[in-house]
Amino acid sequence: MARLLLLVPSASYRARDFLDAARALGVDVVVGTEQSHALAGLMGSRTLEVPLDDPGEAARVIVAHDAVAPLDAVIAVDDMGTLVAAEASALLGLRHNPPDAVAAARDKLALRTRLAAFEVPQPVFAALAAGAGPEEIAAVTTTVGLPCVVKPTTLSGSQGVLRADTVEDAVAVVARVRAIATTAGVDPGAPLLVEQFAPGPEVAVEGLMLSGELRPLAVFDKPDPLDGPAFEETIYVTPSRLAPADLAAVLSATAAATAALGLVDGPVHAEVRVHEGRASVIEVAARTIGGLCSRALSFSTGRSLEELVIAHALGLPLGATGALGASGVLMVPIPRAGTLVAVEGQAEARQVPGVTDVQITIAAGRAVEPVPEGNRYLGFVFARDSTPARVEKSLRRAWDCLDVRVDD
């Protein structure tokens, strides 16, 4: 039986879908996490304590484990483990992405720099050093062009991402973004990324790198405009309703970006905007789509996205990888900061035609905070129907059913 090491941060709730996928494929699983007691016995799996915040040491721990119990693949469920997986797999001779490519994908400034070197279409950008004063902020934002977007280089989930329309806005936005990043544990001396705001609709591309070639699996439309000042995502729907030429531009830009990064094998999640026929790459990550959003996808073989990722890592046949039908997901937004009291109306939301599931992932009594300070959603609503338009309608009707109660 093949053996998989699954790297799961202790705070993640993504392990279950990967564990289900491994079991469906008949794969033995060891869960690697930075706090093994937190996930001990997760769905019957063995655990290995791995310092995910120290990739070099983590790789050494994994190599030592392999000497006792040989591994056939190492997979990370999200950003925190991707570099560890790459470094350990390189040492063990397993299918992997080059560590430097994964490191560049995890750092937004490094990503921009690498894409620029290969002339991949993307926003004009610049780095803003820590401690920059109003004059330097004005110079950078004017050079980049207004409106602009300011973001930390290493956070995800739209955390710390804000738009500025004027130089005066930019000064205030930089201070706020810096405060968010520092609170989230980013080095106060790290630069911020300033990039020109890219107009047009944004889509998410889900793909799989196969020996250096991008195989697109799905393209999700984001029908709610993401124009700022914060960039909280809500609805994803696939297949995309972009015009064929725009969709081709999106896929071409994504393939160019993965090639520029040097990604070779494994999942890819990209965010791309398209305007007047021109695609602009916003982000590329060497992982699958975040949260529970992958549950919106099913493939003609009956496999889940996680099954495809594991099968590829193990060198198993993939079969057809076309997504099946129209589907989508609502990431339930947090209305304001405070303590979550309840999410009412879930039963009504489940009764909406087309809705297949409602999952609230934050328990009552927990502190919640919307983006840009926060980086989580209350939960997920899934829908499936005959057309993307019907899926979107179902998700909006379900959203209307939900009453989120938050106390100060």
Q: CATH classification of 124-196 is 3.40.50.1370, yes or no?
A: no
- Residues forming beta bridges with residue 327, ordered by sequence position: 238, 384
* Contact partners, residue 49, CB within 8 Å, separation at least 6: 32, 33, 34, 35, 36, 61
In 3-state terms, what secondary structure has residue 153? coil
What is 3-96's CATH topology? Rossmann fold (3.40.50)
Instruction: Let me know: does 281 contact 113? Beta carbons within 8 Å.
Output: no
CA angle 353, 355, 357 (to 5 degrees): 145
* Contact partners, residue 402, CB within 8 Å, separation at least 6: 332, 343, 344, 345, 346, 349, 381
Backbone angles phi and psi of 130, in degrees to 5: -60, 140
Of residues 357, 342, 353, the one with CA closest to residue 403: 342
**Residue 117: is it exposed, middle or buried by C-beta count within 10 angstroms (0-12/13-18/19+)?**
exposed
Q: Where are the domains of the chain?
A: 3-96, 124-196, 325-408
Verdict on whether the full-model pTM lies above 0.85: yes
Please report, in tens digits, the pLDDT of each residue of the chain (408 residues total): 899 999 998 877 788 999 999 999 999 999 999 876 555 555 556 889 999 999 999 999 999 999 999 999 999 998 989 999 999 999 999 999 999 999 999 999 999 999 999 999 999 999 999 989 999 999 999 999 999 999 999 998 899 999 999 999 999 999 999 999 999 999 999 999 999 999 999 999 999 999 999 999 999 999 999 999 999 999 999 999 999 999 999 999 999 999 999 999 999 999 999 999 999 999 999 999 988 999 999 888 889 999 999 999 999 999 888 878 899 999 999 999 999 999 999 999 999 999 999 999 999 999 999 999 999 999 999 999 999 999 999 999 999 999 999 998
What architecture is domain 325-408? Alpha-Beta Complex (3.90)
